[in-house]
């Protein structure tokens, strides 16, 4: 994809970042010689609403630890967001070669992050995707929070429902289908980042996505031996799985460890006039480019958070808490179409001498053939529900509310074998979940195909 050598008064230089539908280029203001970063977005490929939200949110924020937007330009096909240039690169780049930071440097960056989030929350803005990739550093090593594309403004009831973020940094309350407090979710992510800065590795890390979520849900982590008592105490209060009991930002600021060598940063004391004329002009430059577009068809797989968001039935909290012992439930993965999956359920039922009745396109009820009478049709042993997450990917949830446990186990074993005939690998979700993601893009919010968070720490739930 080619770009002009200049846009307005800005001379474009090398590419310093790249995403699915955007590039970030280093540029220089020809009038004053100032370096800037220009995010170039393809109008046809981007989510216009999300881009506008990011721009408007960042224009509201005036803080030394938040990347500033200078202006927005537009052509028939592109949006150019002219931003403050952070010459130190991202915090993730720094961590890749520095591993863990010393206490002094880690504390300074954490203090600046908390200051920035305190300012955002007071403005009614929740970031919701805090991670080292979205934290930049200027030439003096000061932190700059960037990428407010997933941010949200405070609602009247102060409850958010759209779940988003990156799996290694996401708060446990976002794994359920209930509402959550955006401020508490940001605090959790800050705690994970602090742990990573001090330890050199993540508190929650697992190649298996379900195992990762279980660790997050239960807050299962282990501090390295070099952590001090004060550090452990603060981190335990931040990485608190119960959002109601989690420490707040004002309480973090008052903590003894945080207060040491703390120099508060000051944001804009008063609300400045927010001019959006350049934003409106940039997006209105060509009418047909303003409409919201969908993800490129070349992306043939969905990510794990999108999978969850497709159905309320995939509330992950059920995977981490003790299930009802009276009702056995097994979840199986299927790399077949929904019709093929239903056929395999029917075949598995026949194998163990069960009668099948289709309730609808997605639900099948099963019971023993010998009790199939008019008076007993409502007393079923098994049910199988199919949830379609992609054209050739489904989740089968098998439940037993009554009847013989042995027959239930035989059915699940038969169905599991049938569902994995092509690949020949086990597919039970409780043991392994595989989600294929295009991992070529460093700015993707998706983990790698093996879902290794050390190699690629992003995952987006939209």
Q: Can you tell me the distance from the alpha carbon of 345 to that of 358, in angstroms, rounded to the nearest whole number?
A: 11
Burial (CB count <10 Å: 0-12, 13-18, 19+), residue 362: middle
Closest CA to 147 of 243, 58, 63: 58
**Is 129 among the residues known to form the active site?**
yes
Pair 89, 135: CB distance under 8 Å: no
* Residue at token pair 């989510």: 47
DSSP H/E element including 237: helix 229-238
Q: Phi/psi at 184 (nearest 5 deg)?
A: -65, -35
* Residues flagged as binding site: 39
Beta bridge partners of 11: 6, 28
Pair 153, 125: CB distance under 8 Å: yes
Q: Can you tell me the distance from the alpha carbon of 315 to that of 124, in angstroms, rounded to the nearest whole number?
A: 27
Pair 247, 190: CB distance under 8 Å: no
* Residues flagged as binding site for ATP: 39
Pair 86, 67: CB distance under 8 Å: yes
Distances 333 to 213, 412, 456 between C-alpha atoms, Å: 18, 12, 24
Closest CA to 305 of 140, 126, 177: 177
Q: Can you tell me the distance from the alpha carbon of 383 to that of 401, in angstroms, rounded to the nearest whole number?
A: 9
Count of C-beta atoms within a 10 Å radius of residue 394: 22
Out of 115, 129, 147, 381, which one is annotated catalytic? Answer: 129
Beta bridge partners of 26: 37
Q: Could you write out the DSSP letters of every residue in 34-48?
A: -EEEEEEEETTTS-H
- Kindly list the catalytic residues: 129
């Amino acid at each position: 994809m080619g770009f002009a050598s200049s846009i307005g008064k800005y001379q474009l230089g090398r590419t310093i970042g790249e995403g699915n539908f955007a590039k970030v280029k280093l540029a220089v203001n020809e009038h004053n010689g100032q370096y800037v970063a220009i995010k170039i977005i393809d109008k046809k490929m981007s989510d216009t609403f999300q881009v506008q939200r990011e721009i408007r949110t960042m224009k509201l924020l005036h803080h030394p630890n938040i990347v500033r937007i200078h202006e927005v330009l537009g052509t028939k096909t592109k949006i150019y967001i002219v931003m403050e240039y952070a010459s130190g690169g991202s915090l993730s780049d720094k961590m890749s070669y520095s591993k863990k930071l010393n206490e002094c440097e880690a504390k300074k960056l954490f203090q600046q992050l908390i200051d920035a989030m305190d300012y955002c929350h007071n403005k009614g803005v929740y970031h919701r995707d805090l991670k080292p990739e979205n934290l930049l550093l200027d030439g003096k090593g000061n932190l700059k929070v960037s990428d407010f594309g997933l941010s949200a403004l405070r609602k009247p009831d102060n409850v958010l429902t759209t779940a988003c973020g990156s799996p290694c940094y996401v708060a446990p309350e976002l794994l359920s289908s209930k509402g959550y407090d955006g401020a508490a979710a940001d605090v959790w992510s800050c705690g994970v980042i602090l742990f990573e800065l001090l330890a050199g590795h993540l508190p929650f890390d697992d190649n298996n996505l379900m195992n990762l979520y279980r660790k997050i849900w239960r807050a299962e982590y282990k501090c390295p031996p070099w952590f001090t008592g004060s550090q452990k105490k603060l981190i335990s209060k931040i990485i608190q799985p119960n959002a109601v009991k989690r420490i707040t930002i004002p309480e973090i600021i008052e903590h003894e460890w945080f207060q040491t060598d703390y120099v508060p940063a000051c944001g804009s004391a008063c609300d400045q006039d927010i001019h959006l004329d350049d934003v409106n002009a940039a997006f209105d430059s060509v009418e047909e480019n303003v409409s919201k577009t969908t993800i490129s068809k070349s992306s043939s797989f969905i990510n794990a958070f999108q999978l969850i968001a497709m159905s309320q039935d995939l509330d992950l909290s059920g995977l981490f808490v003790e299930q009802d012992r009276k009702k056995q439930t097994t979840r199986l993965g299927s790399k077949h179409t929904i019709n093929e999956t239903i056929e395999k359920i029917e075949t598995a039922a026949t194998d163990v001498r069960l009668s099948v009745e289709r309730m609808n396109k997605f639900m099948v009820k099963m019971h023993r053939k010998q009790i199939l009478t008019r008076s007993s049709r409502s007393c079923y042993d098994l049910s199988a529900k199919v949830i379609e997450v992609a054209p050739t990917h489904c989740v089968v949830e098998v439940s037993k509310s009554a009847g013989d446990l042995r027959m239930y186990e035989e059915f699940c074993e038969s169905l599991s074998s049938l569902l994995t005939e092509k690949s020949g690998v086990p597919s039970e979700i409780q043991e392994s979940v595989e989600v294929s993601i295009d991992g070529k893009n460093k700015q993707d919010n998706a983990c790698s195909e093996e879902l290794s968070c050390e190699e690629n720490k992003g995952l987006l739930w939209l």
